[in-house]
């Protein structure tokens, strides 16, 4: 939801200019919408704001909730419509809710209004070998329809579907091998694209606990690093994709990220999670045009798929493999290797009970 700042910041910049020149245009309604649907969420939240511009410092206006949000009577209707092949299958009114946990920043906090809906669609496929409920129809398109101050505002999105991870990579029985003796290797995560998925971002999350004064702490600590980003090249599904975890960099990242603390007697390795986050075409385009500029071309268009407004209405999906273990030599490198041995790691994974690096041995 913080990406909404990229649309409203234009007003902040204009308002901060010199008052020697009156740059304020006549008042105009500007609606900013941001919604990212996930078919595995039971409730779907959408942010609806208004742009603003006035005399004085726009950063001061940003802290005023009324400057950023439409009042309830500004809406003639606000709804989400599920369609398939152009036929309306269901309509859901957007309901208003007030949250009080927004972190302080450029814009008003802690209270903010969000709008939500819940689809009546239900399906219970097996995803990753586990029965799973999905709450949006991946074969349908979802339209948002608003009428604000007499203006009709619309957008459409497809729904990112599930996809398949290679069976060996998905199995927690198959370890991640990153080292053989003193030699480092690599691990390749493989998957196939799914319906409506365009951009696939792969990460790994290394999980552990610390032992202090003979007591294992309840807090699970983690380090997350990016493996890579892959964009689907062909239409349809089933395109092979992969991202690689380099062994040497893995241990170096752990050594640079975990402080050497004499008060920590041991660190208990809990496993590695593999995470693939997916964006559909609309969200992919938005992300591409809002990424930091790394070349000589500095100008690019501001992307919005909102008709008569600004923002993004798209979909995303996240798939995880939880609790991958390290192979025997990779675990030995973690626990006793030159790079991370000083961090005092042992394995808390039951599969490693016969290993000399198991925590209870």
331 and 194 in a common domain = yes
Cα(78)–Cα(49) distance, integer angstroms: 13
Co-location of 121 and 259 in the same domain? no
The runs of H, that is alpha helices, within 44-166 are 58-62, 65-68
Domain count, the chain: 2
Identify the pLDDT of residue 205.
Answer: 98
Largest CA distance in the chain: 77
pLDDT tier at 56 (50, 70, 90 boundaries)? low
In the predicted model, is pLDDT for residue 344 greater than 70?
Answer: yes
239 and 98 within one domain? no
Tens of pLDDT along 153-169?
Answer: 999 999 999 999 999 99
Per-residue pLDDT reduced to its tens digit, 111-133: 888 999 999 999 998 887 788 99
Of 176-185, 259-268, 285-294, 326-335, the range with the lowest mean pLDDT is 285-294
Same domain, residue pair 96 and 182: no
List the domain range (segments joined by +) for residue 16.
2-159
pTM as predicted: 0.87
Q: What is the pLDDT of residue 123?
A: 94
Residues 206 and 342 in one domain: yes
325 & 255 share domain: yes
181 pLDDT more than 90? no
Instruction: Report pLDDT for 175.
Output: 97
- 121 domain-assigned: yes
As a whole number of angstroms, the distance between CA 32 and CA 302 comes to 13
* One domain, residues 152 and 173: no
More confident residue, 3 or 300: 300
Q: What is the chain's percent helix, strand, coil content, to nearest 5?
A: 20, 40, 40
Query: Do 39 and 161 contact (CB within 8 A), yes or no?
Result: yes
Q: Per-residue confidence at 23, pLDDT binned at 50, 70, 90? A: low
């Amino acid at each position: 939801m913080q990406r909404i700042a990229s649309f409203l910041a234009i007003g902040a910049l204009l308002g901060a200019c010199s008052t020697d020149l009156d740059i304020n245009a006549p008042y105009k309604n500007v609606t900013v919408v941001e919604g990212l649907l996930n078919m595995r969420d039971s409730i779907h939240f959408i942010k609806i704001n208004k742009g603003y511009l006035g005399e004085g410092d726009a950063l001061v206006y940003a802290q005023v909730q009324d400057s950023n949000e439409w009042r309830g009577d500004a809406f003639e209707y606000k709804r989400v419509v599920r369609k398939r092949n152009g036929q309306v299958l269901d309509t859901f009114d957007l309901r208003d809710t007030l949250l009080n946990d927004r972190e302080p920043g450029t814009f008003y906090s802690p209270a903010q209004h969000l709008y939500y809906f819940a689809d009546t669609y239900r399906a219970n496929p097996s995803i990753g070998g586990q029965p799973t409920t999905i709450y949006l129809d991946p074969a349908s398109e979802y339209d948002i329809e608003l009428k604000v101050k007499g203006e009709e505002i619309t957008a459409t999105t497809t729904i990112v579907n599930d996809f398949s991870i290679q069976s060996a990579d998905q199995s927690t029985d198959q370890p991640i091998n990153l080292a053989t003796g003193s030699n480092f290797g690599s691990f390749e995560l493989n998957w196939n694209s799914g319906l409506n998925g365009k951009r696939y971002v792969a990460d790994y999350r290394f999980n552990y606990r610390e032992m202090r004064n003979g007591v294992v702490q309840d807090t699970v600590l983690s380090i997350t690093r990016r493996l890579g980003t892959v964009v689907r090249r062909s239409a349809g599904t089933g395109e092979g994709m992969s991202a690689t975890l380099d062994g040497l960099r893995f241990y170096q990242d752990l050594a640079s990220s975990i402080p050497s603390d004499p008060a920590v007697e041991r660190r208990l390795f809990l496993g590695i999670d593999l995470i693939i986050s997916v964006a559909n075409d609309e969200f992919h385009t938005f992300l591409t045009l809002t990424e930091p500029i790394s070349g000589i071309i500095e100008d690019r268009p501001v992307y919005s798929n909102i008709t008569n407004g600004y923002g993004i209405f798209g979909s995303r999906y996240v798939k995880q493999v939880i609790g991958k273990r390290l192979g025997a030599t990779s675990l030995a490198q973690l626990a006793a290797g030159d790079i991370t041995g000083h961090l005092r790691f042992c394995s808390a994974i039951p599969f490693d009970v016969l290993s000399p690096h198991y925590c209870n041995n």
